[in-house]
Structure 1
C-alpha cells in the first residue's frame, strides 16, 4: 500500500468539521441534522468535507427498528442500561454510540461525478485500512451476520467486527459514514442491542430481518490490534493520510447556509422521532 489514496487529488482542499460549537453538539439529534446540512453544503459549494463526531452513550435506531412488533417493550428494556435512544434519518438497524466510538463521515459533492454505492464503501474501507497499515492485521470488509447492524461492508479484524458503514445522498452530495468502535466495552454495547431485539421480537417472526446479536463476533479496534487507542489518536491517523496525499485540510466555519440547513434538519429529526417512536420518558429529545 502507498501513502496516497487513488481517489484523492493532490492540491484539493477538504473542509474539516471536528471541533464544532456547542450549538451543534448539545442536542441528541444534532449530529444527524448537521450531517444533512453538510451534505447540502458540499453539493452547493462543490466542496468535499470531513466530519468527525462522538456522543454521550446513545442507542441509535434505524428506521427498520421501528417495525419491531413489541417496540414499546424493546425501548423500555433499555432503561436498565440508562441509555437514551433516538431513530436516525436513514435505514439500517440499531447501533451504539458513546465516547469510545468514533463517527466519521466523508462527504463528496456529486456535481461532476456520481459515486456508485460500492465505490463509496470502498473509499471508506481504503481509508481505514491505510490508517492502520503499520499493524500486521488485515482490516476486511464483508458482512458479519450476527453483529448489530450487519451489512456487506462491515469492517472486521480476524472475523470480529470493529465498524459499520452507511451512506446518505442529498442535494448533489453524498455522505459515506462509519462508526468505529475504538475502545470501551464492546461486549456491553452488543448486549444492549441483543436485549433490544429479545424484547422487541419475543421470538416472533416478521417480514423484516433482525440480527441474532452475538457479542463475541464484535470487538474494538484497541482489542483487535492489541494497542491502546483514543478517539483522538484515530482522528490524527485519518487526517495524516490526507496530508500525506498533499490534501489541504482547512478548519471549517459555519456560514449562514449551514446554520439554516442545520435548524431545518433538527426540526425534521424532532418530528420524525415524535412520529416514529412511542413517547416514553427516555425518548424525549435534548
Structure 2
C-alpha cells in the first residue's frame, strides 16, 4: 500500500496525481490512498454541464473566489473551501465487473470509522435536497443530526477502481453561501439545512486531523512496514513524464 500525502501546486496537478494513482494501481497491483485538502474550487459533474444556466453557475463560483473544474465521475457540484477534505483510494482489480457494491460499502464504512475516531456520530444516508445527492452518503445523527457530511463516488477501469469522496470539516456557512446560488443556477433542489460538518457535530474543525483519521480508517497506520510513504509531488512528476511520453 502506498500512502500519498500533500497537495499539488494547482487543481490540475492534483487531478493528475490522483489519476496516476489509479493508473499505477492497475499496472502494479498495489493499492494507494491519499487524503488532502484540495484547492478552493467547485467541481461540477457531467450532468451539471448540460444545465441551461451552467455558465451562470460557473460565473457564480468564480465571483466568490472559487476555481471551476469539471470531473468525469460523481454527481452534482461539490464545493471545496480550502478546508474540505478529499480522499481517494486506488484499488487494483482482477475483474472490473465484480465488487462495485462492496467497494462502495467499504468506502462508506471507512468514512464512518474515521468520523467515529473524530468523535462524530454519523450513519449511512443523506437528507432530502442535499448537495451532490447520491446513494453512498454519510449524514450526522444525534443532537446535531441530519446534515450530510460526506459523499462517495467511484470510477472503474479495466484493471483498477478509484473510490473517492469528500468530508466537510468546517465552514458550513461558507458552503451554504456558495452552494445555494450555484444549485439555483443549475435548477437542482438544494436545502441549506442539508449541509453538515465535523465541527457541527462537536468534532475537531482541523482538516489535518480529519486526513489522519481517514488514513487510519482505510489503511491502518503509517508505521505498518507494508505502507510506503510518497509525496504528491512524486506523482505529479510521474504524471508529467507519462504525458511527455504519450
TM-score class, shorter-chain normalisation, is 0.7 to 0.9
Pairing of 1:114-193 with structure 2 (within 5 A): 115-133=98-116, 138-158=121-141, 159-183=146-170, 185-193=171-179
- Match for residue 59 of structure 2 among 65, 68, 76: 76
Shift of 1:245: 11
* Residues 178-224 of structure 1 deviation map (CA, whole Å, 9 limit, x = unaligned): 100112x22321332221232344xxxxxxxx3x1111111111211
**In structure 1, distance between residues paired with 2:149 and 2:133:** 11
Unaligned runs of 5+ in 2: none
Given that residues 35 and 214 in structure 2 are in contact (C-alpha distance below 8 angstroms), is that contact kept between their aligned partners in structure 1?
Answer: no
Residue of structure 2 equivalent to 1:204: none
Secondary structure, in 3 states, of the residue corresponding to 2:135?
Answer: coil
Secondary structure, in 3 states, of the residue corresponding to 1:75?
Answer: helix
Residue of structure 2 equivalent to 1:52: 35
Given that residues 32 and 88 in structure 1 are in contact (C-alpha distance below 8 angstroms), is that contact kept between their aligned partners in structure 2?
Answer: no
Given that residues 64 and 91 in structure 1 are in contact (C-alpha distance below 8 angstroms), is that contact kept between their aligned partners in structure 2?
Answer: no
Given that residues 37 and 262 in structure 1 are in contact (C-alpha distance below 8 angstroms), is that contact kept between their aligned partners in structure 2?
Answer: no
TM-score scaled by length of structure 2: 0.84
- Of 154-163 and 76-85, deviating more is 76-85
CA spacing shift, 1:46–1:216, aligned 2, 3 Å = same
Shift of 1:36: 1.7
Secondary structure, in 3 states, of the residue corresponding to 1:168?
Answer: strand
Shift of 1:42: 0.3
Residue of structure 2 equivalent to 1:18: 5
Unaligned runs of 5+ in 1: 1-13, 202-209, 268-286
**In structure 2, distance between residues paired with 1:30 and 1:160:** 31
- Match for residue 196 of structure 1 among 182, 192, 217: 182
**In structure 2, distance between residues paired with 1:163 and 1:72:** 26
**In structure 1, distance between residues paired with 2:77 and 2:225:** 34
Secondary structure, in 3 states, of the residue corresponding to 2:33?
Answer: strand
Shift of 1:255: 7.2
**In structure 1, distance between residues paired with 2:130 and 2:9:** 29
TM-score scaled by length of structure 1: 0.73
Residue of structure 1 equivalent to 2:230: 252
CA RMSD of aligned residues (A): 2.8
* Residues 119-166 of structure 1 deviation map (CA, whole Å, 9 limit, x = unaligned): 111111211222243577542112433111011111111221101101
- Match for residue 96 of structure 1 among 79, 89, 93: 79
Shift of 1:99: 2.1
1:34 and 2:20 correspond: no
- Match for residue 220 of structure 1 among 191, 197, 220: 197
Shift of 1:33: 2.0
Pairing of 1:237-248 with structure 2 (within 5 A): 237-241=213-217, 242-243=220-221, 248=226
